[in-house]
Amino acid sequence: MTGRTAKIPARCECGSAATRRVNQFILRDALWWDSEFSCGTCGIYLCEHSGPEPAPDDVREALLAAHGPARLRLVGPVPRLVPALKVLREVFSAASLSRARELAAELSRDGLVGTLPEMEFLRDRLLLRGVHADIDP
Ligand SMILES: [Zn+2]
């Protein structure tokens, strides 16, 4: 599995420039993100967050800026839409059925775009339900 890392400039309590290092990765069949804060001046180091939930927008934006987006597309025609809808509703938690239908339509046309770990996670979930999708290189 491909984890992704990005650095976000931050400001330390000591007044120096510090760094937030954010990671997104697949662990134990879940999509995780975490964040570490460190300051080279005063030496502080904190684990700010670690958990299996969707990454917040600033973390996703940093990862997309550092690595570019990945695009996931269904391979060939979809034999049955229901398994794909089920996965989409699971992965995009609380997606309504109509939203899941929109996502499925995007998946079969231009593809869905996100970070590489997000798209690998979705691809693997789809595959478990017999739906084949590929990530554009
Ligand atoms: Zn500091």
What is the tens place of the pLDDT at every residue in 78-89?
A: 667 889 999 999
Residue spans per domain, the chain: 4-67, 70-135
In tens, the pLDDT along 8-20 reads 999 999 999 999 9
Cα of 30 vs centre of ligand 1, distance in Å, is 33
How far apart are alpha carbons 37 and 112 in whole angstroms? Answer: 31
Spacing, Cα 71 to ligand 1 middle (Å): 38
Give me ligand 1 centre to Cα 126, in Å: 44
pLDDT at 79: 67
So what's the pLDDT on residue 93?
Answer: 77
